[in-house]
């Protein structure tokens, strides 16, 4: 992860894409983006934008460079798009950054620090599961605190009848939260494991490919318990193992019980593969 950050910092004046950055971290794109978000609380794309606009503001404040040249230098196709992004971060237009006393934002480079040995243990077990189908409702959601989030979508599905439809399916499987296509926006599905014959009007079907799964118990009231479990998976468990996210959907499995009780149990299912790049690096 630190190698990837160094790569980002040394290529700020170039077009940065997630595939190239993930390669610097010896990681798949899905795994890297998910790890980055869990460690920093922001997406990779947002981080790169904020770092570029921090450097752009510094350059405008101390040099006579033209706004259009600075915009092009940091990857903006036009002064208009640069101005819009600059104002969103700094609260002023680029030309105002030259004025004495104008406040600007500085977004620092992040750093990764592994937790102290033994400070946080993670319980898990591994299973193999063949491909299966889930039935439910999906939406395109947004990372972070803006726009449509997981909690918002659970609330919507309670109000629009989706829960009633899922509860009526001829299956005894638990409710699931399925995350797919992780990026700044991602697909999230509230579902149950079932076949196409169980479908109700207004629901969709999704196939979950066969995979090796690491399963993590989560104990405590929602949503804090499951959110803390995912943080531990990415901040503690992945760095402590030679596993990597397989890039397939990941699953929250909500078992029966009162989700607000201290002893409520649910599970996080993470599709995994062995990280051969790390294994070769460590053995070499």
pLDDT, one tens digit per residue, over 156-190 is 999 999 999 999 988 899 999 999 988 778 999 99
Residue 284: the pLDDT is 41
pLDDT at 118 over 70: no
Residue 147: the pLDDT is 63
pLDDT at 155 over 60: yes
pLDDT at 3 over 70: yes
Placement of tokens 């019980």 in the chain? 257
pLDDT per residue over 220-243, tens digit each? 999 999 999 999 999 889 988 999
- Topology classification of domain 2-98: Arc Repressor Mutant, subunit A (1.10.10)
pLDDT per residue over 29-59, tens digit each? 888 888 898 888 889 999 999 999 999 999 9
pLDDT per residue over 184-214, tens digit each? 789 999 999 998 777 778 899 999 999 999 9
Q: Quick one: 278 exposed, middle or buried, by C-beta within 10 A (0-12, 13-18, 19+)?
A: middle
Q: How far apart are CA 83 and CA 72, in angstroms?
A: 12
125-281 falls under which CATH superfamily? Regulatory factor, effector binding domain (3.20.80.10)
pLDDT per residue over 77-115, tens digit each? 999 999 999 999 999 999 999 888 899 999 999 887 766
Q: How far apart are CA 203 and CA 195, in angstroms?
A: 12
Q: How far apart are CA 280 and CA 277, in angstroms?
A: 5
Residue 239: the pLDDT is 87
Q: Are 158 and 141 in contact (CB under 8 A)?
A: no
Per domain, the residue ranges of the chain are 2-98, 125-281
When pLDDT is averaged across residues 127-153 and rounded to a whole number, the result is 88
Residue 193: the pLDDT is 95
Calculate ∠ Cα 148-152-153, nearest 5°: 85
Q: Are 90 and 97 in contact (CB under 8 A)?
A: yes
pLDDT at 279 over 50: no
Q: Are 64 and 98 in contact (CB under 8 A)?
A: no
pLDDT band at 27 (very low <50, low <70, confident <90, very high): confident
When pLDDT is averaged across residues 118-135 and rounded to a whole number, the result is 89
Residue 183: the pLDDT is 79
Calculate ∠ Cα 141-56-26, nearest 5°: 55
When pLDDT is averaged across residues 15-21 and rounded to a whole number, the result is 90
């Amino acid at each position: 992860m630190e190698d990837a950050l160094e790569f980002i910092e040394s290529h700020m004046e170039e077009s940065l894409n997630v595939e190239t950055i993930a390669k610097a971290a010896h990681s798949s794109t899905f795994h890297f983006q998910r790890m980055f978000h869990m460690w920093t609380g922001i997406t990779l794309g947002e981080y790169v934008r904020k770092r570029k606009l921090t450097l752009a503001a510094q350059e405008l404040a101390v040099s006579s460079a033209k706004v259009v040249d600075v915009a092009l230098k940091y990857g903006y196709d036009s002064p208009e798009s640069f101005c819009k992004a600059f104002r969103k971060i700094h609260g002023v237009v680029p030309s105002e950054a030259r004025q004495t006393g104008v406040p600007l934002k500085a977004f620092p480079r992040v750093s990764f620090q592994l937790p102290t040995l033994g400070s946080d243990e993670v319980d898990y077990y591994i299973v193999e599961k063949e491909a299966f189908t889930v039935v439910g409702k999906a939406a395109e959601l947004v990372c972070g605190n803006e726009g449509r989030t997981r909690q918002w979508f659970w609330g919507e599905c309670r109000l629009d009848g989706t829960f009633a439809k899922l509860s009526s399916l001829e299956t005894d499987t638990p409710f699931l939260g399925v995350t797919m296509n992780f990026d700044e926006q991602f697909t999230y599905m509230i579902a149950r494991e079932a076949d196409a014959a169980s479908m109700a009007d207004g629901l969709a079907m999704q196939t979950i490919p066969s995979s090796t799964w690491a399963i993590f118990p989560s104990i405590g009231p929602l949503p804090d318990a499951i959110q803390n479990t995912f943080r531990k998976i990415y901040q503690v468990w992945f760095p402590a193992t030679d596993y990597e996210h397989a890039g397939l959907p990941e699953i929250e499995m909500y078992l029966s019980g009162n989700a607000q009780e201290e002893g409520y149990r649910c599970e996080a299912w993470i599709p995994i593969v062995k990280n051969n790049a790390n294994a070769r690096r460590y053995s070499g």
